[in-house]
Amino acid sequence: MHRSNLIKPLLDSTYPVATKGEGIYLYDDSGKKYIDGCSGAVTANLGHGNEVIIEAISQQLKKVAFTYRSQFTNEPAEKLAELLCKMTGELYPWTFLVNSGSEAIETAIKLAIQHWQEKGRPQKNKIISRWISYHGITNGALSVSGHPIRREKFLNMLGESSMIEAPYCYRCPFGKAFPECGLQCARQLDTILGRIGSDQIAAFIAEPIIGAAGAAITPPEGYYELIKEICDRHNILLISDEVMTGCFRTGKMLASDHWEVRPDIICLGKGLGAGYTPIGAVIVTDEIIDPILKGSNIIMSGHTMSANPLSAAGALAVLEILSSEQSVESITEKITYFHNLIDQLKGKFDFIGDIRGKGLLIGIEFVQNRALKTPYPRGAQFTETLIKTAKNNGLLLYPASSGTDGRNGDAIILSPPLITTEDEMDEMYRLLVKSFEAMEATLS
Ligand code: PLP
C-alpha cells in the first residue's frame, strides 16, 4: 500500500471516482451514469447539484465561513433553529447543532443524563436501547447500538447498555403474530424497567423505523404509543433517533409523527444537510432544558464545528425547500407510486421474503425459502453480489442487515431522493428488475 492511498472502508475495494452529480444521477470519471437509488446512505434527499442550496452555501461562504460557538452565534444557525421549531409543531424550541448523526446521539445521551443530574437524580444515568438498531459509530452511540458486527471489535470500550427486542414482526423474537402478541416487544421495556429499577435509567432510545440494522423494520400500530406510555409511567425520557427517518424521508417531517408520539429528545442528521454539508441536530423540549437552565446553565457537550455557518446555511436551504406545501404534496404522491411499483416485485421473485418501510424508505429482505423464511448463508454473499450487479447496471443500492441475528441474512434499502419523478422511478424499477433477474440466473 502506498502512503498516498486513501483508506477506504473496504480496503480491497476499488471505488470509481465520482465527478458529477445532477438530480438523482451520479457520474464517474469514465462517464458512467448511476441512479442514486439510496441517496448515498439515505442522505442526498434533494438529489445532487441543487442550485438553490449551492447558492445559499456560497453566499454564506462570502459572508463568514466559521464562527466559534462560545464566541458568536450566526444568522443561518439561528434561522435553522427557528425553522426546525416551526416544522416540529413548536414543541422543540431548543436546538443543538453538531456535525453528524453519531454526534447528535452522543449529545442526546449526555443531555438526558445531565437533565436528571440537574434535577438532583445523578443515579438516573443509564440508557436502555434495542437489539437490531444502529445509532452511530462513536463509542457512546455504538454502546447503545444493537448491531453485533459493528460492536464486536470494540466491546472493551463500550458502555453497558440493556437492550430489549425490536418490533420485528417478520421474524417475531417471541414467535408470535400481531395483534395477538399484545405488543410483547414493547411490554419488554416495562419488564426490564421493573427489574433494573427506573431510578437507574435516564432514557430509552429507538429509531422509529429501524434503518441500517434492520432494513426499514416498521413497528406495528400501537407500538410507539405504548413505548411512550411506559417511558412516562416510569419517568424516563424517550430519545427518538430520526437521523435516517427525519426531514420527510418517510413522508412527514418526523417519522414519530406517523404515530403522533412526542419524544422528549429528537436526533437529526443525514437528510438535514441532504449531503450538501455535514450537519446533525438535537432538538428538545422546554422540560428537558429547564433544569439545566436553572442549574449549571451549560450543556456539557459540543464540538469545534458545532453550529458551523456553512453547514447551517445548507441545512436551512434544505428545510426551506422541504417545508413548502408543494414539496410535501409531491412527496406524498410519489410515495404511493413508488410503493405500488416495488410491491409488484414480490410476485416476480421468490427470493423476496419481505418488503417493508414507510415513505421513500423501503427495505427488502431476501430469503432462500420464502415459506420457511430461511436466510441465505452468509457465505453466499447475496447482498454483496446484488449491490455489485446493480452498480454495474447503473443503480446504487444501500446494503442493510436483515435483522436476523445481525450477522446472517440479506437485505437492502431503497431510498431514492425525494425529488425522484415517476418516470425516474420507472427507470429505477427496470434496473432493479434487471439486477434481480441476474441474481436469479446465478442462483439457478
Ligand atoms: N442513527 C441512525 C439511525 C443512522 O442510520 C446513522 C447512520 O447510518 C447514525 C445514527 C449515525 O450517523 P452518522 O453516520 O452521520 O454519524
Mutate to test the pocket of ligand 1, among 102, 107, 267 (most ligand atoms within 8 A of CB): 102
- Tell me, what's the ipTM? 0.99
Tell me the CA–centroid distance for residue 243 and ligand 1, in Å. 6
The CA distance from 343 to 361, in Å, is 13
Cα distance between residue 277 and residue 274, in whole Å: 7
- Give me ligand 1 centre to Cα 140, in Å: 13
C-alpha cell recorded at residue 21:
452529480
DSSP string spanning 67-135? --TTT---HHHHHHHHHHHHHTTT---EEEEESSHHHHHHHHHHHHHHHHHHTT-TT--EEEEEBS---
Compute the distance between CA of residue 110 and CA of residue 299 in angstroms, rounded to an integer: 9
308 lines ligand 1 (CB under 6 A): no
Q: Identify which of 243, 282, 401 to mutate to test ligand 1's pocket (most ligand atoms within 8 A of the CB).
A: 243
d(CA 313, CA 336): 32
pLDDT computed for residue 1 by the predictor: 44
Give the list of residues 6+ apart from residue 39 with CB closer than 8 angstroms, or none. Answer: 45, 47, 271, 275, 415, 416, 417
275 in ligand 1 pocket by Cβ < 6 Å?
no
Nearest to 166 by CA among 406, 358, 395, 397: 406
CA of residue 106 to ligand 1 center, whole Å = 11
Q: What is the pLDDT along the chain (444 residues), one digit of tens a residue?
A: 455 677 777 766 678 999 999 999 999 999 999 999 999 999 999 999 999 999 999 999 999 999 999 999 999 999 999 999 999 999 999 999 999 999 999 999 999 999 999 999 999 999 999 999 999 999 999 999 999 999 999 999 999 889 999 999 999 999 999 999 999 999 999 999 999 999 999 999 999 999 999 999 999 999 999 999 999 999 999 999 999 999 999 999 999 999 999 999 999 999 999 999 999 999 999 999 999 999 999 999 999 999 999 999 999 999 999 999 888 888 999 999 999 999 999 999 999 999 999 999 999 999 999 999 999 988 899 999 999 999 999 999 999 998 888 788 999 999 999 999 999 999 999 999 999 999 999 987
Rg (C-alpha) for the chain, rounded Å, is: 22
Write 419-423 long-range contacts (CB < 8 A, 24+): 419/23, 419/24, 419/46, 419/47, 420/24, 420/47, 420/334, 420/338, 420/360, 421/334, 422/334, 422/337
Q: 400: CA distance to ligand 1 center in Å?
A: 13
Residue 281 beta carbon below 6 angstroms from any ligand 1 atom: no
Residue 207 near ligand 1, beta carbon < 6 Å: yes
DSSP state of 371: T
Q: Whose CA is nearest to atom 13 of ligand 1?
A: 101
The residue type at 350: D
Does residue 39's CB lie within 6 angstroms of at least one atom of ligand 1?
no
- Tell me if 212 CB under 6 Å of ligand 1: yes
Per-residue confidence (pLDDT) for residue 405, from 0 to 100: 81
CB count, 10 Å around CB of 235?
13
Give strand ranges (E) for 139-279.
Answer: 162-164, 201-206, 237-241, 265-268
Return d(Cα 240, Cα 285) in angstroms, integer.
13
